[in-house]
Structure 1
Amino acid sequence: MKDWVKAVIPPEATFRDALVSIDATGAGMALIADGERRLLGVLTDGDLRRALIRGAGLEDAALTGANREPFCIDQHQDRAATLAMLRAHGLRQLPVLDAGRRVVGLTTVSDFLNIPVRRNPVIIMAGGKGERLAELTRDTPKPMLRVGPRPILDTIVGNLAGQGFRNFWLAVNYKAEQIERHFGDGSALGLDIRYLRETKPLGTCGALALLPPQDVPVVVTNGDVLAKVDYGHVLESHLEVEADATVVVRDYEMQVPFGVVNAEAGQILRIDEKPTRRYTISAGAYVLSPAALRLVPADTYHDMPALIADMIAAGMNVREQPAEGYWIDIGRPPDYAQANADFGEMFEG
């Protein structure tokens, strides 16, 4: 909901103030928050009616009729999980909170019904050989490997189309004809699909130099990543802070299969048995400004980390945005098998 700020009312607000807020936003909910916008309670139009039936007056404190423990969602929760929560609890709205329980948004059912058509192009990097998958990619390009009942690239394109994106560029190289034959110009899907044809491998972002000049930010994602990312939200956040690049990130845990020795000056201080290390990794999805695209060298192998490093060196605004939903890179056989095992529950459940 874009005008969610109008739904926020202070602790001293009356039922009349809540009614005015609910009427102004049409969201069916007022959010009662303190001066730092920490959520104290919510008041739906139903809560308001019930309070008035019990004899409350319009000038009484709205907080007296509020739900102090409402269902809420974290600001990084993915779109599919949010919709599932709305359905599971029969809700029409969900306050969106940050880690400090400060209100940062209000999601409503109508947000899922009125998806804007976005003119921002989506570039999907689909030219890699997938050498780690060995026999699986001998005759099939990695983005066309089936995860569940269809090629992974079908799922990636379908998810983005469901979020309002209509203009796609597929960067292709290895066995490109299979991808082009499968998608054509996209008209059968109601999309505009065009191709960035690499005559040689150009790395994870070199193909961006083949794009025509852009006047809006573009979404870039890898063609071998199965993820539930709200790209519309990422794009809107990127625009809100006027970023030059947004890197979608997530936590990745690795367990060391041995005891890790911590020592100092030759003396062992302790041994940590099979510790788990957590890292923040790139999720293979980005939003790039037109200025960022102009830094990609023409006809040159160039990887995304190099482009990000160039932007940071140039003093450009490079930000991260966590993605907390499902994510898996199918580049290794165990991960490809896991993606197939997960697909039914995560994408068709």
Structure 2
Amino acid sequence: MGFQLQNSDFNKILNELKKEYKIYAPKRFEKRGTFSDTDMIRYGEIDSVEEIVWKEKSEYSPKEIIFPITQTLFYFTEEEYKVPKVDDKKIIVFLRPCDINGVRRLDTIFLKNGEHEDFYYKRLREKVKFVMIECKESFENCFCVSMNGNYTDNYSIAVRFEDGQVTLDVKDEDFKGLFNKVGKEVDFTPEYVKENHVKVEVPEVDKMPLEIFNHEMWKEYSERCIACGRCNVSCITCSCFTTQDIPYEDNPKAGERRRVWAGCHIDGFTDMAGGHSFRKEYGSRMRFKTLHKIYDYKKRFEENMCVGCGRCDDRCPEYISFSTCINKLNKVLKEEEKDEE
């Protein structure tokens, strides 16, 4: 069912929803960008439609809402532990189709990756409803069409923002009553990106020989990558973390265990007991990430892990392009296949 209403009326609905939900959307944080006079666009709680940044791509994904950067797993003393409570409010997130598809990848990793579901992820994820921001024009560095991340119908509401008004496709029965009161009924079907400026050809899983692990192409990234991890933390589908025990100063035998984001590009990620460490060369980390996104995950779950949002390319200070890396890999494999003929 479609509705159209003015921003002022939409804000009234947001205020009504805030009694029951926390509402997150991409918003502008002034003077918080890379340089002192630049802004940052990332996810935060909103109070009005005017706060939502929909004409620009957010620099970071919404994954921190359901997979926090730092999350206390439990508090402990000498004799017992206690799992922290979560806020009673449910969650609404405004996000683009690629990010909805990215969250589905996170669902697979945390909820369908083996016999046990991740308790901490699940209890936040169950609270979330999606409001899909219509995205019909590609941003720079996006390659969502190539990765099948450009389309989804997995949303409670789809919204088209226009100057002064919003148009919505409301699928969730929980919300239809709110819009019936103030919105004008219209026919509305959201549009999607049909073509990106960047195109990627993903290699087929069954044409990935073991020899590719030691190919010369990875050495380029040993020279260029600085292991800052920006690609990991901005990515909607990166799900790696480490754990830390934090003892309290007044009683070192009590404290809390936290999980904290980590990533395959970051120094120390592969450190093990006994002083062992793996993938010390930065090129081997690029190889690991690339093959995990388009080979390992796909071999298990029959779709690419990467959804083509392009944030890794946007955020890399060394201008390393993940889409270019995939195309280079595909080119190498085709050349080797031709040589064998």
User: Which of structures 1 and 2 has the bigger CA Rg?
Assistant: 1
Task: Please classify the TM superposition score into its range, dividing by the shorter chain length.
Answer: under 0.3
What is the TM-score when the length of structure 1 is the normalising length?
A: 0.24
The structure carrying a bigger strand percent of its residues is: 1
